Amino acid sequence: MKVMIVDDEVIIRNGLSTVINWADNGFTVLTPAASAEEALQRIPVELPEIIFTDIRMTGLSGLDMAHQVKQQHPEIEIIVISGYDEFAYAQQAMREGVSDYLLKTSRPGEIIEAAVQARERLLQRRLTQAKGKAQEMVVNRGFLRRLLASGTPLDEHAEAELCERYPELCLESNGSVLQIWMLSVYPLHPEEAEQSNVSELHRLIGTELAEVLQCAWLEWNGSLLLLVRAEPNHGWGRVDSALHKMESTHACRITAASGRRVASAKELHIALATAVEASSYEWLLQSERHIRYEDIEGRTGIRTVCSMEEETKLSSLLRSGESADLQAWVADLLRRIQSQDQATPGSVQAYLHSLIVSAQRWLIRAATSIGYTSPVKVEETYDIRELTKNPEKVLVDSLGLIMKEYRDMVSTTSPVQRAISYIHEHLGQSLSLQQVAKHVHMNPNYFSEMFKKETGQNYIEFVTQAKLRKAMHLLRETPAKISEIANEIGYEDIKYFNRLFKKWTGLTPSEYRANPES
C-alpha cells in the first residue's frame, strides 16, 4: 500500500521516510512532497492510499490540502503528524476528513500503528463497497434476465429502469443501437471443461468485457450473453477484437453469434430471438467464429425425411454389425449436410430424427422377420435438441444401440430365422438358396429341409411372397413408380412383375394402389 509524506521541513520528511521500516510492514513510501501544492499535483498521478502531512507549511496548509484531497479522492486516508498538540487543530482536522492526529514526537511504532489502522479502514471500506457492488450487479442481472425472458416488447417503465440500472446501454438520439451476442466458450484444457469452471470463465470474461465495451452480460442457457451498445458508423470489429483478446488471456476458444441490431430497447425481444437463432447454427457453420443473423436469416431448410435409398443403406449397416462402418457413414452424411447452403437447425433436426425413427422401425421389422418374441427396445435415449448441437455423438450412440440390439436378437435365434432376416434385407437382389445357406453356415440341402420345416414353404415360394409383400407396402405407402418398385424388389422385367403380382393378389399393381383394401 502506497504512503506519501508531506512536510516542508526536509529533516522531518526524510526522517519519516527513512527511519521507519515501512517495507517490513507492507507499505511502499513514495518520494516525500515538500509542500501541499506539490502533493496536490502528484496525487492524481501517483495515487497514494495513505498521506501523512504536517499542518503548518509554507504556502497551503496541510488542512487546506486535506480538504481538497477529500473532495477529489475521498477514499484516501489522511493522517496529520504535527508539532502542535492543540485541541482546536485536532477538531479542524477531523472536520476536513483527517482520520488520525499524531505528534512529531510520536515513536516509530506509534506511526506504523496509525498506518496499519488506516490500511485496515481502507481495506474494510473497499470490501464493503465490493460486496455492495457485487450485490447490485446480481440484482441488475436478475432484472435483465427477467426482462429478456419475458419475450415481449418493453414498456416505457421497463425501458426507463433498464437505462437506470445500465446507463451504458442508454440509447442516444444520435442513432446508437443495441445488439445481443451469444458466446460459446470452450476451455482449451479438457480438465477445465466442467460446468463450474465454465461458469467461472463466463464470469471472468463477462466482467472484463464490461470494462472495455459498453455492454452488460449474464449467463444464458449455458452460453454467455452480451448486450452491447454501439455508436452510429462504428462497426463491431471492436467486439471481435475484444473476444480475441479474451481467448488469449483465458486460454479458451470463443464462438460468437450476433442477432439483429435494434434502435430501441423496446425491441430487445427481437435482438434476443435472432441472436439465439444465429447461435443454433454453431454446428452447421462450425468453421465460422462469428455467425451473423443477417447471413442465415434467408435459409429455407433441407428435406426433413430420409430417402428410401438411405433407409436401405442404413439397415444394411445396422445388420452388418460393423461399428466402424456405421461411424464412417454418419461422418460422411453430416459432412454432406454441412455443405448444403440452405440447411437450417430445424430441418437438420427433423431429418436426423427421421433416420433414427427409420432405424427403430427396421429393428421392429427385423425382429418380426426372424420370429423374435421378446420385447424390442426402441425407446429414445437422447435429447432431440442435441441433434443440432452434437449430432455425430447422438447418431452414433443411438444407432449403435440399435445395432447391438439386433446383434443380441440374432444371437438367440435359429439359423432359419437369421436366413429369413437376411432375405428381407436383400429383397432387391437375386438371392439363390446356396447364397443364403452359405450366409448361415449350413449345407444347402440340409438348409432347404430345415427352411421348409420351420416356415411351411419352400425357399422359392417364401422369397417370392416376401418380395410381393414389400411391393404391396411400397404401393400403399409411397408415390414411387411401379417400375421403380419392381426394381426395388429385384424384378427388372416390369411385365413379368405385373403378371406375378396379379397372380398372387388378383389385382394389377395399379389396381391395388387405387384400392388397397380390395
Which of 160-164, 195-199, 350-354 has the highest mean predicted lDDT (pLDDT)?
A: 350-354
Per-residue pLDDT, 86:
63
Cell of 118: 488506516
Q: Which amino acid is at 196?
A: S
How many residues does the structure list for the chain?
518
Per-residue pLDDT, 233:
66
Answer yes or no: are the C-beta atoms of 231 and 176 closer than 8 Å: yes
Answer yes or no: are the C-beta atoms of 120 and 128 closer than 8 Å: no
pLDDT digits (tens, 9 = 90+) for 125-144: 888 887 877 788 888 889 99
Per-residue pLDDT, 472:
92
pLDDT digits (tens, 9 = 90+) for 467-504: 999 999 999 888 899 999 999 998 989 999 999 999 98
Question: Is pLDDT above 70 for 380?
Answer: no
Q: Which residues contact 94 (CB under 8 A, 6 or more apart)?
A: 101
Give the distance from CA 505 to its chain's centroid: 57
Per-residue pLDDT, 319:
86
Q: Which amino acid is at 185?
A: V
Percent of the chain with pLDDT over 90: 53
Answer yes or no: are the C-beta atoms of 260 and 274 closer than 8 Å: yes
pLDDT digits (tens, 9 = 90+) for 213-261: 889 999 999 999 999 988 766 666 788 899 999 999 999 999 999 999 9
Question: Is pLDDT above 90 for 206?
Answer: yes
252-258/290-292 β-pairing: parallel
**Range 416-518 classified under CATH 1.10.10.60:** yes
How crowded is the C-beta side of 338, counted as CA atoms within 13 Å?
Answer: 19
Per-residue pLDDT, 192:
60
The overall average pLDDT reported for the chain is 89
Torsion angle defined by CA atoms of residues 123, 126, 128 and 133, in that order, rounded to the nearest 10 degrees = -160
Closest CA to 221 of 304, 286, 177, 282: 282
CATH fold for domain 150-296: Alpha-Beta Plaits (3.30.70)
Confidence band for 409, pLDDT divided at 50, 70 and 90: confident
Residue ranges of the chain that CATH labels 3.30.70.270: 150-296
Angle made by CA atoms 383, 384, 388, in degrees to the nearest 5: 115
Residue ranges of the chain that CATH labels 3.40.50.2300: 2-124
Residue ranges of the chain that CATH labels 1.10.10.60: 416-518
**Range 2-124 classified under CATH 3.30.70.330:** no
Measure the CA–CA gap between 8 and 20, rounded to whole angstroms.
19
Compute the average pLDDT of residues 295-318: 92
Answer yes or no: are the C-beta atoms of 54 and 12 closer than 8 Å: yes
Measure the CA–CA gap between 352 and 76, rounded to whole angstroms.
64
Distances in Å between the Cα of 21 and the Cα atoms of 107, 111, 116 are 12, 11, 13
Measure the CA–CA gap between 54 and 9, rounded to whole angstroms.
9
Measure the CA–CA gap between 260 and 278, rounded to whole angstroms.
10
Per-residue pLDDT, 228:
93
